[in-house]
Amino acid sequence: MSFVEVERVSQSYDRRPILDRVSMSAKEGEFISIVGASGCGKSTFLRLLLAQEQPTRGRITIAGARPAREPGPDRGVVFQRYSVFPHMSVRQNLVAASALGANFFGCLFGAKRKAAQKTADDTLERIGLAHVAHAYPSALSGGMQQRLAIAQALMARPKILLLDEPFGALDPGTRITMHEFLMELRRETGMTVFMVTHDLGEGFKLGDRVLVFDKPRWDPVDPNAIGATITYDFDARDSGIPFQRLQEKTHVPIEA
């Protein structure tokens, strides 16, 4: 069984179908880009993966666990905005990432606090935000804020990372730096990632697969009558150029 298993998931709001029988599966460590027209339900799909909402029908399992009923530390998330806590400094945001889930009060004291601060400082160093450790997020550039948000999400060591247009508000140059940042983190952690994007290039560059969400049919009477589903599932490895790998085991040794 695959790591992430989405089985015939449908979601309706007020009886208006948004997603209609979406099925897919992902292997551990796969990077899955999701593209599609605005309003077709990509964010809804991420919310379902996140267990922020329950599907009207169908089920989603991750690592064979029972379907989650609320968001938890096994799923990390970064939104386009508002993903970090504005009232905490950069460093406090990272310390809080360890502290919030540590106990009922979400506070750490003594040696544990020291350890969390140490981890936070190491992380800051690694993601290149050490020089703004004591600034508040509102003082950071968009790229820095998203770097912080991603690092913060990874502190909880989630099984899957969900990104909803994480670089949508960034300029093209910063975007490319962020791609490198994300790919590096991914190489280190081997994380399974779902990323919604409006940038096809970005989707193919980062993803192992690119899923396209769209309505399979159009109802000429009521355009809202039919929900979206996955209409294409591209292999995006090897820069999206197909037939670069052997599909079958040929038992013939390949010469290097």
Enumerate binding residues for ligand ATP (CB under 6 A). 13, 18, 36, 38-44
Partner that binds at residue 97, options other proteins, ligand ATP, Mg ion, none, CB closer than 5 to 8 Å by kind: other proteins
Cα-based distances in Å from 252 to 108, 246, 247: 58, 11, 13
Binding residue for other proteins, selected from 41, 55, 76, 168, defined by CB under 8 A: 76
CB 3 within 8 A of CB 19: no
Name the minimum Å distance from CB 45 to ligand ATP. 7
Partner that binds at residue 44, options other proteins, ligand ATP, Mg ion, none, CB closer than 5 to 8 Å by kind: ligand ATP
Binding residue for Mg ion, selected from 11, 33, 43, 229, defined by CB under 5 A: 43
Euclidean distance between CA atoms 79 and 229, whole angstroms? 22
Partner that binds at residue 39, options ligand ATP, Mg ion, other proteins, none, CB closer than 5 to 8 Å by kind: ligand ATP
Q: Which of 163, 153, 184 minimizes the C-alpha distance to 74?
A: 153
Residue 139 DSSP class: G
- The H-assigned helical ranges of the chain are 42-50, 90-99, 110-126, 142-155, 172-189, 200-206
Strand order in the sheet with 229-235: 75-78, 160-164, 192-196, 31-36, 209-214, 229-235
How many binding residues for other proteins (CB under 8 A)? 38
Name the minimum Å distance from CB 107 to other proteins. 7
Q: Looking only at Cα atoms, what is the longest distance across the chain? A: 65
Q: Is 96 exposed, middle or buried (0-12, 13-18, 19+ CB in 10 A)?
A: buried
Question: Judged by CB under 8 A, which stretch of 19-27, 70-78, 166-174, 242-250 contacts other proteins?
Answer: 70-78
Euclidean distance between CA atoms 143 and 131, whole angstroms? 15
Name the minimum Å distance from CB 168 to Mg ion. 9
Name the minimum Å distance from CB 189 to ligand ATP. 26
Site map 82..101 versus other proteins, x via CB under 8 A:
xxxxxxx-------xx-xxx
Binding residue for other proteins, selected from 21, 28, 59, 72, defined by CB under 8 A: 72
Nearer to ligand ATP, 35 or 99 (CB): 35
Partner that binds at residue 186, options ligand ATP, other proteins, Mg ion, none, CB closer than 5 to 8 Å by kind: none
Name the minimum Å distance from CB 36 to Mg ion. 9
